[in-house]
Structure 1
Amino acid sequence: MTNILEAINNMVRHKNFAIRAIYTGRNRANSMGDALENYIKDAFANTFDTPSEEIRMEVFNEKFSWLGSQNNPPDIMIKGGDAIEVKKTQSPNSSLALNSSYPKADLRGTSPMITSDCRKCEDWTIKDLIYCVGHTSDAEINSLWMIYGSIYAAKHETYQRIKATISDGVKEIPDVVFSETKELGRVNQVDPLGITNLRIRGMWQIENPRKVFNYLHEPSGKDFELICVIPNDKYFNFPEASRNKLENLEVEGFSIASKNVKNPNNPVKLIECQIIKFLI
């Protein structure tokens, strides 16, 4: 089974961030967003240098249980491991557009936003969630932040309360036909002819981790920056072999340090984390 430590090790050793040339040349990507997602898949699957697409797919089948759909989270699920959401920005500090899916501390099988196929792809109920946020140019990855949802987003109830309050408020509007929906609300037959409907959709955004965790890292001006923040209780539960690979790396620009981050549910409380950086 793969994990985020194995993925970081693979990226550090690969050292090629020209993702447009890599993935459009292999007919695997139609956009930089697709190329970034393919890069993340190859990092976790250790398939950067796999020449055969058939062998690559076989490795994916072995290591992943889900590779996502365009409109439903997550983008990737590791078989028996974490879930992954990949987000691309063309501005280093721009907010992340989550659309109708609010920020998540973890991924739950009960979420109405995931598909039934995702729910059934393996035996699971809750998965830790990694946000992989890449800032790209027209050709390369300039920076990649990898952050666990547990230190990035508040608990589910924080967002569900807002969503429920809006939905309940819509239901209180007199003389309208309200229908059940996965969105914030839907009002049917608004006009006397009954031919107009109103869809009420949430457009969630969350600040870029570069801004949220600016007290942990300042932009270095390097060509590429990898910043990964992993809570200690997660880090030290990874296999010792995976931890040793990173801790014994002797590569210029690579470092691991212990730092505290703010608890997203109570910022006065601190969470011990490992901060992994690769700057070249």
Structure 2
Amino acid sequence: MTNILEAIATIINHPIPDLLSSKAFESFVKDAFANTINEPEPSKHEKYDEVFSWNRSNQSNPPNLMLRNGDVIEVNKIKTFSGRIQLNSSYPKSKLFSDNPQITLACRECETWTEKDILYAIGVTSKDNTKENMKSLWLIYGDCYAASPEYYEGIKDQIASGINAISDVESSETEELGRVNKVDPLNITSLRIRGMWVINHPSNIFDYLDQGYDPKKNFQIIAIMKESKYLSFPLDSRTKIESISVPGFNINTQSIKCPDNPVNLIPAKIITYKI
């Protein structure tokens, strides 16, 4: 079964300049986890079926990818390190639960599951003529990045309650923040109120780390996970990643701030590869 450690090893074992020469960032992430970066297109799909129980990289409902009996992956791409990541109607998640109303029925039933760890794959890319180059790839688990659901649900519920409390308007049930009907004299216009969530890029959030983002490098991978998550991976995968001996590769344990309470620190594994 593949995992983030296997994916990092796959990326390091392939020439960086060619990583995005002929594929979109979403496809690259998928190929990294399926170990199909250099395989011809027809032979990839059989491997995808083995690796992923859910594979809908271009659809708006979470997640983009689900490793079979493993983690789910959300893929995001921006063009600058200072850019904020657009999550649209979905607030950042520390975990993904099968009863989330945004998940499609097909995804909910693609395998037997109730809760999965969520991995955010965040890339910064730049275009040179027709070629897209990757400058950085952050692989960060949601429980290192996002607070617990009640924080986001709380503010969402307060906003929705405030909208519904407005006098002299007719509201109706909706999965958005609110919907107000009959807002004009002819009673023919409605107002839909949607939440558009954004989150800071991890290079800003984790700027306190040793071996963090280095603006002088041409390309870098930075992976962050709880130490307990790292130790949950198969010994073969941990041995493979710990045996990598190439310039620019580093793996260590550091303390990161708890997303629910930044005063508390969490032991985390930080894996970096910079060239």
User: Shorter chain as normaliser: what TM range?
Assistant: over 0.9
CA-to-aligned-CA distance 1:180-200 (integer Å, 9 cap, x gap): 222111112212211101010
Is the contact made by 1:113 and 1:182 (CA closer than 8 Å) also made in structure 2? no
> What residue is the counterpart of 1:222 in the other structure?
217
> What residue is the counterpart of 1:248 in the other structure?
243
> Secondary structure, in 3 states, of the residue corresponding to 1:271?
strand
> What residue is the counterpart of 1:31 in the other structure?
none
> What residue is the counterpart of 2:262 in the other structure?
267
Shift of 1:220: 4.5
Supply the AA of the counterpart residue of 1:123.
T
> What residue is the counterpart of 2:150 in the other structure?
157
Q: Return 220-229 or 263-272, whichever deviates more.
A: 220-229
Unaligned stretches of 5+ in structure 2?
Answer: none
Distance (whole Å) between structure 1 residues aligned to residue 223 and residue 21 of structure 2: 25
Q: Return 151-160 or 68-77, whichever deviates more.
A: 68-77
Supply the AA of the counterpart residue of 2:197.
W
Is the contact made by 1:106 and 1:150 (CA closer than 8 Å) also made in structure 2? yes
Q: TM-score, normalised by structure 1?
A: 0.93
Query: Which of 44, 47, 56 is the matching residue for 1:59?
Result: 47
Q: Are residue 119 (structure 1) and residue 112 (structure 2) matched? A: no
Which structure 2 residues correspond to residues 113-152 of structure 1 after superposition, within 5 A?
Answer: 113-138=102-127, 139-152=132-145
Q: Return 173-182 or 222-231, whichever deviates more.
A: 173-182
Q: What value does the CA root-mean-square deviation take over the aligned residues?
A: 1.2
| Percentage of identical aligned residues | 48
Q: How many residues align?
A: 268
Supply the AA of the counterpart residue of 1:14.
H
> Secondary structure, in 3 states, of the residue corresponding to 2:13?
helix
Query: Which of 60, 75, 92 is the matching residue for 1:103?
Result: 92
Supply the AA of the counterpart residue of 1:225.
Q
Distance (whole Å) between structure 2 residues aligned to residue 111 and residue 54 of structure 1: 34
CA-to-aligned-CA distance 1:48-89 (integer Å, 9 cap, x gap): 1112x2320010011101112521111111010001111111
> What residue is the counterpart of 2:79 in the other structure?
90
> Secondary structure, in 3 states, of the residue corresponding to 1:166?
helix
Q: Return 208-217 or 68-77, whichever deviates more.
A: 68-77
Q: Return 152-161 or 12-21, whichever deviates more.
A: 12-21
Unaligned stretches of 5+ in structure 1?
Answer: 24-34
Is the contact made by 2:213 and 2:222 (CA closer than 8 Å) also made in structure 1? no
Pair 1:82–1:258, CA change in 2 (3 A):
same
Q: TM-score, normalised by structure 2?
A: 0.94
Pair 1:104–1:17, CA change in 2 (3 A):
farther
> Secondary structure, in 3 states, of the residue corresponding to 2:22?
helix
Shift of 1:173: 1.4
Distance (whole Å) between structure 1 residues aligned to residue 79 and residue 95 of structure 2: 26
Is the contact made by 2:20 and 2:134 (CA closer than 8 Å) also made in structure 1? no
